[in-house]
Amino acid sequence: MPSVAVPRSSQASRALRRSQSTRMTATKFECAAQAHLLAQKRRIPLATKYDVNTNVVPACTKLSLPRTLPRPVLGEVDTSSLVGAYPDLAGIPAEYIRDRLNLTTPKMRAAIQAVETSVSKSTLPTELNILMNEVVSFACPTHMFAVYNDAPLPLGHKRQVNLFPIHDLVFGLQCTNLPTLPAARPSSSPSHTTVPVVPLRLPSPETFSLLHAYLYTKQPATLLASLARPCETDMLQLAAHANKILGLWRNACLLGVVDAQLYDVIGASWDSAIAAMQACS
């Protein structure tokens, strides 16, 4: 068969089309690879776990969070343990005492915020001296909580313990699972008073300050504001925030806090955090 000569212009046109097709195919593969990589990066934070003790989110473990935080069955506190120190409370319903106590708790909170004390960093004492001043003496704390958890520690590290001055009435009337508190001694000096130190093991020591403040203030709006999710859309930040809410819920459940509004706030904050994480993933 005789050969047919193809004009040079047609050859150039075909070569150009083949080149364009090759570039388009390469571009598609490149875009697909980038999209796959980006999707992997977006999924990576979902496969992490927030370490509440070190504030580090290791990338090799899996984050497992419940979609909802179940509301515990709210019982009622047994005031018999308080009657020894407060005989006038015998036979009075706990709910009524709590309502009356709300009139005094602002001054109690002012007193615990004004507490000054010192403690050795090497050992935890059984008692602590609290310096008396005008604010503290008006509503002096009865005990000192030494809050900690029992998570394993690296070799050579000391367990961190946080001290919180408290009033036995505030916690005894709102927590069904509070450990037995030793008897508080009345102050024998105008300059200081001695209070028992009560070790309190909790799953989330770092969030106890939120619960501590709420039990004194009983202001759901303030707690809700402190649990507002961050504006960032970074999954690690959202996971850390969700872990904060989870820690507060675990502490409240362990202590048996009998406050429905507390769990309303925790539930609403949790739903918002989970929705943000789902939108980010």
Q: Give the pLDDT score at 30.
A: 42
DSSP strand pairing (143-148 vs 162-166): antiparallel
Domain map (residue ranges) of the chain: 76-201, 206-281
Give Dmax over CA atoms of the chain in angstroms.
123
Q: Give the pLDDT score at 188.
A: 64
Question: What are the angstrom distances between the C-alpha of 57 and each of 13, 159, 263?
Answer: 56, 20, 27
- 87 close to 162: Cβ distance less than 8 angstroms: no
Count of CB atoms situated within 10 Å of the CB of 126: 11
Q: Give the pLDDT score at 51.
A: 35
Q: Give the pLDDT score at 272.
A: 93
Q: Give the pLDDT score at 9.
A: 45
The H or E element containing residue 143 is strand 143-148
Tokens of 247: 């820690």
Contacts for 266 with CB less than 8 Å, ≥ 6 apart: 69, 227, 245, 248, 249, 252
Residue in the block written with tokens 């939120």: 210
Tokens of 78: 């047994």
Please list the pLDDT of the chain residue by residue as tens digits (281 residues).
433 343 444 454 454 455 544 444 444 444 344 334 333 333 323 222 333 333 444 444 456 788 889 999 999 999 998 998 999 999 999 999 999 999 999 999 999 999 988 777 778 889 999 998 889 988 999 999 999 998 887 887 788 899 999 999 999 999 999 988 998 877 667 888 999 999 999 999 999 999 999 999 999 999 999 999 877 678 888 999 999 999 999 999 999 999 999 999 999 999 999 998 888 87
